[in-house]
């Protein structure tokens, strides 16, 4: 006799224990597998986190269907085709989501904004922020952006001030840090924890250091600053002194090089 014959509800009981499901980008799904996966998901009534980075899942027609999880608070996804819109109705069915990650978004940014009234943490592509309405943006407390460059900085500059953001984290590419800080002073004026890292390590110039100091002067609520991926040929001690004088509210500063 099998365990299921002893306990006919064992599968249902196990499904009730699952709190998070992740599908990573290196997972390959065969044709028709998505429907089977959706059938499994429908059994996970207690699910709190659903993080799907698998492209094969998202290119399937109506991949999210009518899936609904009463307690879902964490959701991660990507959009590689603007014709794929099932993610929008999924978000509308899950207003309790507090943490969201969007690793790639190639959808229509000019469509009607989405409302996520309980969103508190966002991580991923800056462009998706344009798909959120002002109420959703206003509730974000932690903002983590990937590959922040000139285009992404321009997106931030067009957003209303995000006055609830207290933590801002970014990987930076092909843009001067001083230019980023000039945008952040308007976008996240009350930020308290700021961390950024250069994707390709560069050398901090005297002009660059001065531009950062000018940007820090406008962030008068900043308490913690972390910078990585920069070689400072003028000496870390001098940089700390200059940046600390520019923003006297800073209590902790960590500067790391490319190594």
pLDDT, one tens digit per residue, over 121-167 is 999 999 999 999 999 999 999 999 988 888 999 999 999 999 999 99
Residue 134, φ and ψ in degrees, nearest 5: -65, -35
Q: How confident is the model at residue 191 (pLDDT cuts 50, 70, 90)?
A: very high
Domains of the chain by residue range: 19-109, 141-259
The interaxial angle of helices 206-216 and 236-246, nearest 10 deg, is 30
Q: Is the pLDDT of residue 4 over 80?
A: no
Counting residues of the chain whose pLDDT is more than 70, the rounded percentage is 94
pLDDT tens figures, 14-53: 888 999 999 988 888 877 788 888 889 999 989 999 999 9
**pLDDT for position 194:** 97
Outline where 67-161 has alpha helix (H). 86-93, 134-139, 150-157
User: Global pTM?
Assistant: 0.89
| pLDDT of 67 | 93
* pLDDT given at position 12: 57
Of 150, 152, 49, 52, nearest in space to 109 by CA: 152
For residue 256, the model assigns a pLDDT of 80
Question: Is residue 220 within 8 Å of 185, Cβ to Cβ?
Answer: no
CA-to-CA distance for 156 and 133, rounded, in angstroms? 14
CA 135/CA 122 separation, integer angstroms: 14
pLDDT for 198 beyond 50? yes
């Amino acid at each position: 006799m099998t365990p299921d014959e002893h306990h006919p509800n064992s599968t249902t009981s196990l499904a009730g224990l699952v709190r998070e499901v992740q599908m990573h980008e290196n997972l390959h799904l065969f044709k028709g597998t998505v429907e089977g996966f959706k059938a499994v998901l429908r059994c996970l009534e207690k699910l709190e986190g659903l993080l799907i980075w698998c492209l094969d899942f998202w290119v399937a027609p109506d991949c999210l269907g009518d899936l609904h999880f009463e307690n879902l608070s964490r959701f991660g996804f990507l959009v590689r085709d603007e014709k794929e819109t099932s993610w929008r109705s999924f978000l509308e069915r899950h207003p309790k989501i507090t943490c969201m990650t969007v690793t790639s978004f190639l959808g229509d940014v000019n469509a009607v904004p989405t409302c996520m009234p309980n969103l508190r943490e966002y991580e991923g592509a800056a462009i998706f922020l344009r798909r959120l309405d002002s109420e959703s943006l206003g509730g974000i407390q932690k903002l983590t952006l990937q590959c922040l460059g000139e285009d992404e900085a321009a997106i931030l500059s067009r957003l209303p001030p995000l006055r609830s953001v207290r933590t801002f984290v970014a990987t930076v590419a092909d843009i001067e840090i001083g230019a980023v800080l000039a945008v952040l002073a308007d976008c996240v004026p009350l930020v308290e924890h700021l961390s950024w890292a250069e994707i390709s390590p560069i050398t901090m110039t005297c002009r660059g250091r001065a531009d950062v100091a000018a940007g820090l002067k406008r962030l008068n609520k900043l308490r913690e600053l972390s910078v990585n991926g920069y070689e400072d040929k003028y000496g870390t001690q001098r940089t700390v002194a200059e940046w600390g004088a520019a923003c006297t509210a800073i209590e902790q500063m960590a500067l790391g090089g490319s190594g």
